[in-house]
Amino acid sequence: MSTYAIGDIQGCAERLDALLVLIHAESPDAKLIFLGDLVNRGPNSLATLRKIRDMGARAQVVLGNHDLHLLAVSQGIRKPHPADTVMEILEADDREELLTWLRHQSLALYEQEHLLVHAGVLPQWSITQVLSLAQEVETSLRSEHWVDFLREMYGNQPTSWHDNLQGAARMRCIVNGLTRLRYCTADGEMEFITKESPGNPMPGYIPWFSVPNRLTAATTVVFGHWSTLGLSLQDNIIGLDTGCVWGGKLTALRLADRALLQVSCPAYQRPF
């Protein structure tokens, strides 16, 4: 069975349908791993969630920052941003089923010798540690105390990982690394302001995947989140956020041989 990783959809359900047609033509029974940011900014987040949920075991998801934002907005922890397009989910008859399904998804997966996350991994984390730390967050999201977890999730501190971090600081650092990371220092101090491609980072910061002696460098990390980076195919990284919602493409990559399938996407302009 083929396995495809799919980049950020952000509510572009129609383009997802078109991509799935291409995947089905190549591999009708393919397993699909979605790299997060299923929802928000695009025209139909509700249909996107329903479609992926209804795929059942065929689909796996690593949660992105927009997916966590939806959960936080649903509980009144965060106010909707003017550019958000998640209200149709929150007003849907099946909202609780969808939100429950969403918060039972993963933060990191390991498949066919590939580590899959939404944003990145800190240089001090090994593959085993990434999966273990992701599981800590997953356990909290799936527990009866998940709303309390979301209340403590937001913030930029601590910016660096230490194994002795505990409580909310520990969980926040894990979430930020896996769902928000683009740039960090050689020591792994995270920076959350810069969203541009690696041409002009803040002094002292480099893309997380360029840190020397990164502990996950011996495996291939597959990620989304970074639309200005675009498609990136290197020996040990695969970046698949190709800016669907911004007028780029929606991309699927077959893990076994890096075969690409893409559909072009119109830029979405939200009506106000």
Residue 187: per-residue pLDDT: 95
Residue 107: per-residue pLDDT: 98
Reported as a single tens digit per residue, the pLDDT across 2-52 is: 999 999 999 999 999 999 999 999 999 999 999 999 999 999 999 999 999
Residue 271: per-residue pLDDT: 59
- Statement: residue 155 has pLDDT above 60: yes
Mean per-residue pLDDT, 158-184: 97
Question: Mean pLDDT score of the chain, rounded to an integer?
Answer: 96
- Statement: residue 205 has pLDDT above 70: yes
- Statement: residue 131 has pLDDT above 60: yes
Residue 272: per-residue pLDDT: 53
Mean per-residue pLDDT, 59-86: 96
Structure letter (DSSP) for residue 207 = E
Domain residue ranges of the chain, discontinuous segments joined by +? 3-264
Superfamily of segment(s) 3-264:
Metallo-dependent phosphatases (3.60.21.10)
Residue 268: per-residue pLDDT: 82
DSSP string, 75-137: TTSSPPPTT---HHHHTSTTHHHHHHHHHTSBS-EEETTEEE-SS---TT--HHHHHHHHHHH
Residue 200: per-residue pLDDT: 75
- Statement: residue 83 has pLDDT above 70: yes
